[in-house]
Structure 1
Amino acid sequence: MRQVLITGGGSGIGRATARAFSDAGDAVTITGRREEALRETDGGRGMTCVTGDVTNEADVAAWFAQPFDVVIANAGAGTPTKLRDMSLEQWNDTLSVNLTGTFLTFRAAVQEMQTGGRLIAIASTASLQGGPNISAYVAAKHGVLGLVRALAQEVARSGITCNAVCPGFVDTDMGAAAVDAVSKRFSISADDAEARIVSGNPMRRMIRTEEVVAAVQFLASEGASMVNGHALSVSGGEI
């Protein structure tokens, strides 16, 4: 039975990923700031739910009292803001949760990870391209991918892999918030806002969480043992 840790397990991609690994028979630990949300993710499956902040060094270190076979750095957030209107606090907060949180998670993970271990970051198509009004998020996610590529080379000879999954807009609460923001900004309907958001995706729809989960499960599998330092785009051909 593999030991799997997933940050940001209280909602969205983290929740779907945690349930999929647990249902497959893995021992899953999920972390997040809200215990109630973590318990909802568990839904009686027997996951270990640990509260804490991915940006807090002591909290992250405490999660790794035992080694894990698969570590998924999923926690992340972003708020659309034009660069000219962005405060230093907004900039620092975005980099902290997305980039520093991934750094702290992976740094703790590699201390005791054994041969065959899997490090997986939930990045974004924003790791691979720019976009208006999300400069801090783009910068942070580009940083995540750079971290993944560098760490992949550090751990390769230990038989560990480090990869990133880069989804476009996913049908989650975060995706819904993006739709709402576009709807309000342009005074258009939610349907028109969603169509505008997914216009860069040749399939013209939101990505389902299970489609992202499938990519994560592949990278965590034995069959992906020679996939290392890779950015796996789940975007319908956008990237």
Structure 2
Amino acid sequence: MTQPQALPLAPESRGEAPGRGRLTGRKILVIGGGQRTFDAATDPVGNGRAMCLLYAREGASVAVADVNLASAEDTVRLIRAEGGTAQALAVDVQQPDQVDVLFEATCTALGGLDGVVFNVGTFGRVGMDISLEEWNHLVAINQTGAMLCGRAALKHMDNGGSLILTSSVAGFKFGSQMIAYDTTKAALMGLLRFFAGAGAGRYLRCNMVVPGLVDTPNGRSAGAGRDSRGSGEILPFKRQCTAWEIAYASLFFMSTESVYVTGQYLAVDSGITGL
């Protein structure tokens, strides 16, 4: 029996599909809307930048926040080049004062807030032999940062708003071999349940997107030297995900199409968490 040929990528997977007005009039903050550089000449779009661009194409006004303000500004330039509305803001999610300032500035700039994405995460050393300093650093960004931003989102969002957390399959099954990354991504499940419950009285939804192996600058950095990841042969669909496919999954949670969905997660991983 011959192997089927790989399917060509859909326009959505390539980031080439037109907007359909699914977020018209929405005011959305994406925390982690810039991206790191792995190889500037060949880097694909990252998850956060793809989300920002897609939301703007779908009619939203977008606040792009990142610890790297220059990278957030690059995202904003791309949005404006397509005719979208966006503003860049700087934030270090480890700092409560900066998180508070970010949300106040976003509400002022956008005239309100009804959608927030926490798309922040950094990797650590492979194995268990990491220093307490490195452990605490990753917890401060990946876990405490999510708590600070999530609780601020619930305080500032208009009734009926949507909060999205970006996790990882590393929080669901062994594989990354990075103890701090695995643990902090797993901890987001507790925050997901808490925020969904705490926001229910105001019809605030909290859901989570769980990427598998994604071809992004972050992914290429984490997979450097691991040829099996780059080829995608270890995956059921025999290729890595694109950042646009992550963005479209988040779009469902951000839009009113998911108005009765909260406390849920969607794994975008070609099935590796379930097979």
TM-score normalised by the chain length of structure 2: 0.79
Give me the identity figure in percent.
Answer: 31
Distance 1:23 1:39 in 2: 17
**Which whole-Å deviations, capped at 9, do the CAs of 1:140-192 have from their partners, x for residues lacking one?**
0111121111211121121111010001111101111122143xxxxxxx4x4
Q: When the two structures are aligned, how many residues end up with a matched partner? A: 228
Q: Which residue pairs with 1:37 in the alignment?
A: 71
Q: Which residue pairs with 2:19 in the alignment?
A: none
Tell me if structure 1 keeps the 8 A contact 2:151–2:195: no
Q: Which residue pairs with 1:15 in the alignment?
A: 49
Distance 1:179 1:140 in 2: 19
**Which whole-Å deviations, capped at 9, do the CAs of 1:73-112 have from their partners, x for residues lacking one?**
00111134210x2111111111111111111111111113
Q: Which residue pairs with 1:177 in the alignment?
A: 221
Shift of 1:113: 1.8
Distance 1:180 1:226 in 2: 40
The runs of 4+ residues in structure 1 deviating greater than 3 Å are none
Distance 1:87 1:10 in 2: 28
Give the 5 Å matches for 1:198-213.
199=234, 201-213=235-247
Q: Which residue pairs with 1:218 in the alignment?
A: 252
3-state SS, counterpart of residue 208 of structure 2: strand
3-state SS, counterpart of residue 224 of structure 2: helix
Tell me if structure 2 keeps the 8 A contact 1:169–1:198: no
Tell me if structure 2 keeps the 8 A contact 1:203–1:236: yes
3-state SS, counterpart of residue 6 of structure 1: strand
Q: Which residue pairs with 1:186 in the alignment?
A: none
Distance 2:258 2:77 in 1: 30
The answer to which structure has the higher helix fraction is 1
Distance 2:252 2:49 in 1: 17
Q: Which residue pairs with 2:230 in the alignment?
A: 194
Match of 1:75 among 113, 120, 133: 120
Runs (5+) with no aligned partner, structure 2:
1-24, 36-45
Match of 2:99 among 60, 66, 71: 60
**Aligned residue identity for 2:142:** N
3-state SS, counterpart of residue 184 of structure 2: helix
Distance 2:149 2:248 in 1: 22
Q: Does 1:86 align with 2:120?
A: no
Give the 5 Å matches for 1:31-180.
31-43=65-77, 45=80, 46-65=85-104, 66=107, 67-83=112-128, 85-131=129-175, 133-180=177-224
**Aligned residue identity for 1:69:** D
Shift of 1:202: 1.0
Distance 2:68 2:199 in 1: 32
Shift of 1:116: 1.2
Runs (5+) with no aligned partner, structure 1:
183-189
Tell me if structure 1 keeps the 8 A contact 2:205–2:262: yes
TM-score normalised by the chain length of structure 1: 0.90
